Amino acid sequence: MNKHRPTLVAAMLLLVAVILPAAAHAQDDLHIEPPDWAQGRTLYQVNTRQFSPEGNFEGLRKQLPRLKQMGVGILWLMPIHPIGHEKRSGELGSPYAVLDYKGINPEFGDLDDFKRLVDEAHDLGLRVIIDWVANHTAPDHPWVTEHPDWYTRNEQGEMIPPIPLWADVLDLDFDARDMREAMLDAMAYWVRETDIDGFRCDTAEWLPLDFWITARDRLQPIKPLFILAEGNDHNLVTYAFDALYAWELAPTLERIHHRENSVKDLVNYLRKDARRVTADGFRLNFTTNHDTNAWEGTTAERMGDGLEAFTVATFTIPGMPMIYNGQEAGMNKRLDFFHRDPIDWQPHPMADLYRQLTRLKRTSPALRHGSDRATIHILEEATTTSVLTYERRGDTQTLRVTLNLSDRPQTVRPPATAPTQDTILSKGCTASPDGTLRLRPWAYRLTTFPTLLP
C-alpha cells in the first residue's frame, strides 16, 4: 500500500534512527548484510488471486518452470493470509486486510499446498518471500476482542484505520509490547514452518524503526533472509532491511514519457539516490507494481512506447529489478484488487526482453561488481535532455548503456574508450564507423568492453 502518514510520524522515525544506532548497532549481530544468494537476482511479484486461471498456489506452482526459464530469481507473494469479512472491500476483499497472521487464505489452498510451492521453488533454485502486513489488521481479527489495547484509538476511544480511506482495516498500536511479541512470533513461524526466504514488509516506514531492528535480530539466526521494505527512508536499509523501494524512479520515467520531465531529471534522481543509499542496501527498481497497476494505470497508459527503454533502465541502474506478474505477457489491464480478474497470458516480445535482461543481471561482471549497489557513471558528453548514456564498471568488464528516452530521433557520440565493443542488446540504434549513434525513438543499446585500468 503506497500511502503516507503525516509529517509527525516521519519525524518520529528519524528521531528513533538518530537514537538507536549508537546503542544497538555497535553489535556485530545487527550489522545488515544482504544474503549472498540475493545478488544478481530479479524479483517477481505474484498476485496469486490473478496469476492463473485457478487463482491459487497450485496455479502458480505449475508455472514455476516457466518463471525459472525467464530468469526470475525471487518470488514475492502478496499476502497469503485469510482476509477479514467485516467491512470487506468488494467480493473477495483486500489481501492486506489480514484476519490471521498464521493462517492461509482458503482461496489459495492450505498450508501443505503452500509448503509444496516453496519446496518446488527451492528445487528450481528460486527463493520465496511473502508480504507481511504488520501495520494493521482486519476489523474482525481475533486481537480486536482479545486484546483491544493493541489498537490505535481516536479521542473518542474508537479503534481507527491508519487512514480514513482504508475502512477495511484497523491500525495497530506499536506501543503495545505484547502485540509486538505476537507479531514477531508469527513472522518466525513462517520461516521455521515453511522455510520461506524473507519478507516484503508493507508500509514499513509507518512502523517504529526499533520494531524492525528487533525483527531482524530475531529472524536472522533462523536462516539468512532477504527483507524488503515498502518505504523510501534510507534508515530502513541502514539498520534493518536489505532493500527498499525506488519510489521516485517510476514516476520520473512516466513524466519523461509525457514530456513533463527530461533526462536531466532522471540524472538528478540517480545522483541523489547514490548519495542516500550506499553500501547498506539497495533499491527495488520497477515500472509498475500492484498498487500502481490497480490505481494509477497500466504501463501502456503510463509509459506507452517508452516501456522497453524504461525496462532496460530498471535492470541496468544500481539496484534489484522487479517484474510484476503479467508484464511479460504485455498485460494492458488494471487487475481488479477485490475480485477475480485473471491475467490474460499470451506470447509477447516483452518475455524475450526480460529473459535477456535477467540473464545480463545474473551474469554481467559489471552489474555484479561488489554488489548491486555498484556506482553508476553518467557519460556527460553523450547525455542530453533526451538521451542518457551511462556505464557500470566491474573489475574486468564495463557495461555501457545508451537510451533514447524520447519519441524523436536523436544522435550522440559516446567517447571511444575502448578499441572494440561487443553489442549485447540493441534496438533502433545504428552505429557509424566514427562512433556516432543514430537512435530511433525509444531506442537502446548495450555494449560491453574490458574495464580499463586507471
Question: Which pLDDT band holds residue 225 (cuts at 50, 70, 90)?
Answer: very high
- How high is the pLDDT of residue 373? 56
Over residues 6-19, mean pLDDT: 43
Question: Which pLDDT band holds residue 379 (cuts at 50, 70, 90)?
Answer: very high
Over residues 254-259, mean pLDDT: 97
Question: Which pLDDT band holds residue 453 (cuts at 50, 70, 90)?
Answer: low
Residue 12 has pLDDT above 60, yes or no: no
Residue 14 has pLDDT above 90, yes or no: no
Lowest mean pLDDT among 18-27, 67-76, 192-201: 18-27
List residues bridging with 448 in a β-sheet: 399, 422
Backbone torsions φ then ψ of 245, nearest 5 degrees: -65, 145
- How high is the pLDDT of residue 417? 73
Over residues 79-89, mean pLDDT: 98
| Rounded distance between C-alpha atoms, residue 66 and residue 46, angstroms | 14
Q: Which three cell numbers stand for residue 130?
A: 511473502
Q: Output the furthest CA–CA distance in the chain (Å, rounded).
A: 75
| Rounded distance between C-alpha atoms, residue 423 and residue 418, angstroms | 13
Question: Which pLDDT band holds residue 24 (cuts at 50, 70, 90)?
Answer: very low
Q: Which three cell numbers stand for residue 402?
A: 545508451
Query: CB of 281 within 8 A of CB of 273?
Result: no
Over residues 69-88, mean pLDDT: 98
- How high is the pLDDT of residue 5? 42
Rg (CA), the chain: 22
| Rounded distance between C-alpha atoms, residue 205 and residue 198, angstroms | 18
| Rounded distance between C-alpha atoms, residue 82 and residue 416, angstroms | 58
Q: Tens of pLDDT along 409-450?
A: 999 999 887 667 899 999 999 999 889 999 999 999 999 999
What is the number of other CB atoms lying within 10 angstroms of the CB of residue 279?
A: 11
Over residues 167-175, mean pLDDT: 99
Helices (H), 244-316: 249-257, 263-276, 290-295, 299-303, 307-316
Question: Which pLDDT band holds residue 3 (cuts at 50, 70, 90)?
Answer: very low
- How high is the pLDDT of residue 280? 59
Q: Select the CATH number that applies to the domain covering 7-374 from these four: 3.40.309.10, 3.40.640.10, 3.20.20.80, 3.50.50.60.
A: 3.20.20.80
Q: Between β-strands 136-137 and 376-378, what pairing exists: parallel, antiparallel or unpaired?
A: unpaired
Q: Tens of pLDDT along 276-323?
A: 765 557 899 999 999 999 999 999 999 999 999 999 999 999 999 999
Mean predicted lDDT score pLDDT of the chain: 91
- How high is the pLDDT of residue 20? 47
Residue 192 has pLDDT above 90, yes or no: yes
Query: CB of 283 within 8 A of CB of 243?
Result: yes
Exposure of 452 by Cβ count < 10 A (0-12 exposed, 13-18 middle, 19+ buried)?
exposed
| Rounded distance between C-alpha atoms, residue 181 and residue 186, angstroms | 9
Residue 371 has pLDDT above 70, yes or no: no
Question: Which pLDDT band holds residue 25 (cuts at 50, 70, 90)?
Answer: very low
Superfamily of segment(s) 377-450: Golgi alpha-mannosidase II (2.60.40.1180)
User: For the chain, what are the domain ranges?
Assistant: 7-374, 377-450
Residue 370 has pLDDT above 70, yes or no: no
- How high is the pLDDT of residue 368? 74
- How high is the pLDDT of residue 256? 98
Q: Which three cell numbers stand for residue 228?
A: 524488503
Among 401, 187, 186, 412, smallest CA distance to 311 is for: 401
Exposure of 246 by Cβ count < 10 A (0-12 exposed, 13-18 middle, 19+ buried)?
buried
| Rounded distance between C-alpha atoms, residue 232 and residue 340, angstroms | 31
Give the Å distances, CA to CA, from 173 to 82, 143, 147, 208: 21, 12, 11, 10
Residue 4 has pLDDT above 90, yes or no: no
